[in-house]
Amino acid sequence: MYLCPMKNLRESTLPELEEVMVKLGEPKYRAKQVYEWIWQKFAGDINDMSNIPKALRDKLSADYAIQKVKTHHSQYSSDGTIKNRLQLHDKHFVESVLIPGDKRLTACVSSQVGCSLSCKFCATGYMERKRNLNFDEIVDEVTLLNEQAVKHHGKPLSNIVFMGMGEPLLNYKNVLKAIERITSPDGLGMSPRRITVSTAGVAKMIRQLGDDKVKFKLALSLHAGNDTKRNEIMPINETNNLKTLIEALNHFYKETGNEITFEYILFRDFNDSLQDADELVKIYRQVPADLVNIIEYNPIEAASYEKPDDDKTAAFMKYLTAKKVNVHLRKSRGKDIDAACGQLANIDVPGPAAN
């Protein structure tokens, strides 16, 4: 998986670091100091650990490395959205986005390099999946975006959404371990209630989330209220159909009580009729969902879909509201820099790497 021949220091637990210190002839308390440098001060290099003796730093550096994610390039939208192209230690790239709102500062993070699900409307879906992100790389995404939030807005992140590149539930262990670090009191200390994991619909892993009693929110990228249409735009539906997903979501809610959201992108003359709206209502009533987010479609070169006109969107929303559906129109952010929903594709950006 990794090109770096060194061991990844951040994969070591505190007890494991204590064992390392004993083997190196060092006092155990040095392990806690190293651990704090990793997860509270987010050191990018072992030599940054200034209260660790140089001799010990040299010993650690002989076998271990911190495989820190770096910002290669940032793009700034006219609406305040910032898209970041991040370079991993093995020279792969992912994209993440800082999205400012009236009351929120949201980090949209990636979980894989590319994606294997091939959703027809999503730019990432046309990429080959290279590999999963390791948990510490996901944490790096969040810490980099948090630094950006403080720098540009004077306050830290309020929310995190796993809606970037890749399918989070196909990188299950690393996503959950990253969230554990992000929510830990000795990490960023963010409430899991402010974190949403979005899935294209991996029923088995949705059920696993319930069994694991996770505390974060779940969003399902629905985009169609019947299997025929969903099969057409989301091949994963052929093995994870709506009946199976409904059962999995109900299991998740029964075990956790956590908020469930449906995400629904409107495509002109495909899923935007009142009949489509009625099918969505029927799905909504079978799951204890809190919200339906109607999302504006953001065109990509690889696909020919278009967004409906405003009147069609308004009629769709009005129908849902009349049927007592809690519905919200989510306006796209960062479209001018290809940072909006479905547009992350890791396209090369000119310019030097950011320091």
- Could you report the per-residue pLDDT of 172-182, keeping only the tens digit for each? 999 999 999 99
C-alpha 110: how far from chain center: 4
Let me know whether 239 and 136 are in one domain: yes
Give domain status of residue 355, yes or no: no
**207-252 per-position pLDDT tens digit:** 999 999 999 999 999 999 999 999 999 999 999 999 999 999 999 9
Could you give the maximum distance between any two Cα atoms of the chain, in Å? Answer: 72
CATH number at residue 167: 3.20.20.70
Q: Between 302 and 288, whose confidence is greater?
A: 288
Residue 33 has pLDDT above 50, yes or no: yes
| Cβ 106 vs Cβ 141: under 8 Å | no
Give domain status of residue 135, yes or no: yes
**74-122 per-position pLDDT tens digit:** 998 888 899 999 999 999 999 999 999 888 999 999 999 999 998 988 8
List 93's β-bridge partners, or say none. Answer: 87
Residue 5 has pLDDT above 90, yes or no: no
Let me know whether 36 and 107 are in one domain: no
Let me know whether 121 and 139 are in one domain: yes
Residue 336: per-residue pLDDT: 56
Let me know whether 293 and 228 are in one domain: yes
142 lies in which domain range? 70-337
Let me know whether 112 and 11 are in one domain: no
Of the candidates 203, 224, 205, which has an alpha carbon nearest to the alpha carbon of residue 214?
205
Residue 124: per-residue pLDDT: 81
Residue 338: per-residue pLDDT: 53
Give domain status of residue 106, yes or no: yes
Give domain status of residue 2, yes or no: no
Let me know whether 53 and 109 are in one domain: no
Residue 348 has pLDDT above 70, yes or no: no
Residue 3 has pLDDT above 50, yes or no: no
Give domain status of residue 351, yes or no: no
Let me know whether 240 and 315 are in one domain: yes
| Cβ 217 vs Cβ 257: under 8 Å | no
Q: For the residues 153-163, what does the mean pLDDT come to? A: 95
Q: How many helices and strands (H and E) does the chain possess?
A: 10, 14
Q: What residues have CB less than 8 Å from 25, skipping those under 6 apart? A: none
Residue 152: per-residue pLDDT: 93
Radius of gyration over every alpha carbon of the chain, rounded to an integer in angstroms: 21
Give domain status of residue 345, yes or no: no
Residue 349: per-residue pLDDT: 39
Active site residue 95: yes
CATH number at residue 45: 1.10.150.530
Q: Among the three residues 29, 46, 65, which one is the final residue of a domain in this structure? A: 65
Of the candidates 220, 225, 243, 224, which has an alpha carbon nearest to the alpha carbon of residue 233?
224
Give domain status of residue 350, yes or no: no
Per residue in 225-258, is it b (16+ CB within 10 Å) or e — as a string?
bbeebbeebbbbbeebbbebbeebbbbbbeebeb
pLDDT band at 300 (very low <50, low <70, confident <90, very high): confident
pLDDT band at 298 (very low <50, low <70, confident <90, very high): confident
Active-site hit among 108, 115, 122, 341: 341
Residue 282 has pLDDT above 60, yes or no: yes
> Strand, helix or coil at 327?
strand
Residue 335: per-residue pLDDT: 56
Give domain status of residue 1, yes or no: no
Let me know whether 43 and 74 are in one domain: no
Let me know whether 147 and 293 are in one domain: yes
Let me know whether 139 and 171 are in one domain: yes
Q: For the residues 341-353, what does the mean pLDDT come to? A: 46
Of the candidates 200, 301, 294, 299, which has an alpha carbon nearest to the alpha carbon of residue 245?
200
Let me know whether 52 and 81 are in one domain: no
Residue 296: per-residue pLDDT: 87
What DSSP string describes 154-185? SS---EEEE-SSS-GGGGHHHHHHHHHHHHST
pLDDT band at 345 (very low <50, low <70, confident <90, very high): low
Active site residue 341: yes
Number of domains observed in the structure of the chain = 2
Active-site hit among 18, 95, 141, 167: 95
pTM: 0.91
Of the candidates 141, 172, 283, 173, which has an alpha carbon nearest to the alpha carbon of residue 221?
283
Let me know whether 148 and 192 are in one domain: yes
Residue 1: per-residue pLDDT: 41
